[in-house]
Amino acid sequence: MPTPLAAAEAQVQSRSAVLRKDLGFADLLLASILLVVIPDFFGTAVKAGPSHVVLWILAIALFFIPQALVVTHLNQLMPLEGGLYEWARLAFNDCIGFLVACNLWFYVVLYVASIGLVSVTYAAYALGADAASLAASKWLVLAASLAIIAALMFVALLGLRIGKWVTNAGSLLTVLTITLLALLPFLHLWRGTLPAYHPLRLAAPPLTLFSLSVFSKMTFGALCGFEYAAIFAGEARNPVRHLTRAIFLTAPLIALLYIFGTSAILAFVSPDAVDVIGPIPQALRRAFQGLGFARFIVPAAILLLLTNYLSSFSLNFAANARLPMVAGWDHLLPPWFTRLHAKHRTPVNSILLLGAITLAASVAVLFGVGEQEAFEFLQIWGFAFYGIAYLALFAIPLFAPKSAGIRPALWLRFASASGLLLTLLFVLLSAFPIIPVANQSAYTAKTVAVLLGANLFGLLLYRLGARRNASPS
């Protein structure tokens, strides 16, 4: 007789049978790089100054490796479309699973809502110093948001058969651009324009609240994301084997990109002067100053890095559209969300709703604050929602009842405890800004209100759905 977990898995997998199986091993490998390597957090790490190497090593040991172990374990146990949402639902209950899905959904809405700010900032760096004022134009940011979000909706509608090529190209170009950045200090050292360069210098971080906040953002914000590819488990060929291999192959590369990329930025930009929206374009422009071919190389490198954002947003957007669909399969949302496109087998209604709300968020955040503060709001709010979902990820090996059929080894419990504590630290410190803001008290109040209000709204939606399911047809 099948266990309750096996029976629930079989039910989810039967519904996933209608989906196209478009993702192979190479697609999951490149998606893993794209989901974890986020250029924003290079700027955050630069704020740590010379102590960033020590902080990266601690973050990798205490969070990144535990995350990889927990995600591969749960994906092997439950390779289901919906990923973490289904893992939490089957390990605990429908309510916990639904709230996890809500926090994941809110994360991507706010993360993708920054696409106009990021695109205009990068374009301004590519065009040169004369175009610096472009990033401050809210109308231009709004127009960019509208155009790019519409494009994301179109690609999501076409499905992973098309979308994976956007992801793959963005991932490869990201690795290429950060590798170029990491090599530039050595070039300057060779030419004699940089007196010294020590990319792996170990310096103890100061014991301050600011340093702790930066560390928490480097730990969670920069290194999370491996589990997001598992949302597509029902659309991947052999997700158990391929995602596990992808995670363990990409983890060392990701660690090297972050450490050497941060050191390279610090070679050209001071922690106080770093642009948290575009730290890599800023460093590239300064690194190529004085070189005759800079006017060609710098714009090309910056625009290549912009593909990271566009392809990453595309992948996250597509994954986020699957969550309401899977929740609809489980009768936690109306069947309207489960409607698939006749040809592409993608969740049409979910994509439309996600696009509309993402655009609304990108507009709302622009009023009353500067572009750096607006970007900080979107980034921190989004990743705080993500952190709340991650609390459930690490809680599964620790607190799932034995009746759920999840019995992790002791070493995995230790890894989960480490990841849980650092994720909790990140969530608690999300209200502490690392850039100057107009009003720190208002910043903190807004952050707390948004997190609590959104989760109360998610709980209300769940209760309404449960009441609807309990009432007679």
120 belongs to a structural domain = no
Domain that holds residue 94: 19-113+159-292+368-467
List Cα–Cα distances, 215 to 91, 388, 426, in angstroms: 30, 18, 9
* pLDDT computed for residue 470 by the predictor: 67
Of 77, 94, 438, 52, the closest CA to residue 264 belongs to 52
- List the Cα angle 141/144/150 in 5-degree steps: 140
Of 272, 294, 7, the closest CA to residue 126 belongs to 294
* pLDDT computed for residue 436 by the predictor: 60
* pLDDT computed for residue 174 by the predictor: 87
420 belongs to a structural domain = yes
Residues 378-411: b if buried by 16+ CB within 10 A, e if exposed? bbbbbbbbbbbbbbbbbbbbeebeeebbbebeee
C-alpha–C-alpha distance, residues 148 and 313, integer Å: 10
230 belongs to a structural domain = yes
**What CATH number is associated with residue 64?**
1.20.1740.10
351 belongs to a structural domain = no
C-alpha–C-alpha distance, residues 202 and 287, integer Å: 23
Domain count, the chain: 1
Of 73, 66, 30, the closest CA to residue 236 belongs to 30
Q: H or E segment at 324?
A: helix 294-329
Is pTM, for the whole model, over 0.85? yes
Backbone angles phi, psi at 270, to 5 degrees: -80, 155
List Cα–Cα distances, 350 to 58, 327, 342, in angstroms: 39, 11, 15
338 belongs to a structural domain = no
401 belongs to a structural domain = yes
321 belongs to a structural domain = no
List Cα–Cα distances, 468 to 125, 291, 339, 380, 411, in angstroms: 52, 66, 19, 34, 42
C-alpha–C-alpha distance, residues 149 and 156, integer Å: 10
Is residue 81 classed as helix, strand or coil in its secondary structure?
A: coil
**For each of the chain's 473 residues, which pLDDT tens digit applies?**
455 566 666 666 677 777 888 889 999 999 999 999 988 789 889 988 889 999 999 999 999 999 999 999 999 888 888 889 999 999 999 999 999 999 999 998 888 888 887 788 777 777 766 665 666 677 788 888 889 899 999 999 988 888 889 889 889 988 988 998 899 899 888 888 888 888 888 888 888 888 888 888 889 888 999 998 888 888 888 888 999 999 999 999 999 999 999 999 998 888 888 877 778 888 888 887 766 655 667 777 777 777 877 888 888 899 899 999 998 888 888 889 989 888 888 999 999 999 999 888 888 766 655 555 666 667 778 888 999 999 999 999 999 887 777 778 899 999 999 999 999 988 888 776 655 666 677 777 888 888 899 999 999 988 887 777 766 54
191 belongs to a structural domain = yes
C-alpha–C-alpha distance, residues 348 and 340, integer Å: 6
* pLDDT computed for residue 1 by the predictor: 44
**Token output for 464:** 């309404």
Whether residue 323 contacts residue 354, with contact meaning beta carbons closer than 8 Å, is answered with no
What's 63's DSSP letter? Answer: I
- Cβ neighbours of residue 389 under 8 Å, at least 6 residues apart? 84, 100, 103, 104, 107
Whether residue 374 contacts residue 35, with contact meaning beta carbons closer than 8 Å, is answered with no
- List the Cα angle 253/255/258 in 5-degree steps: 110
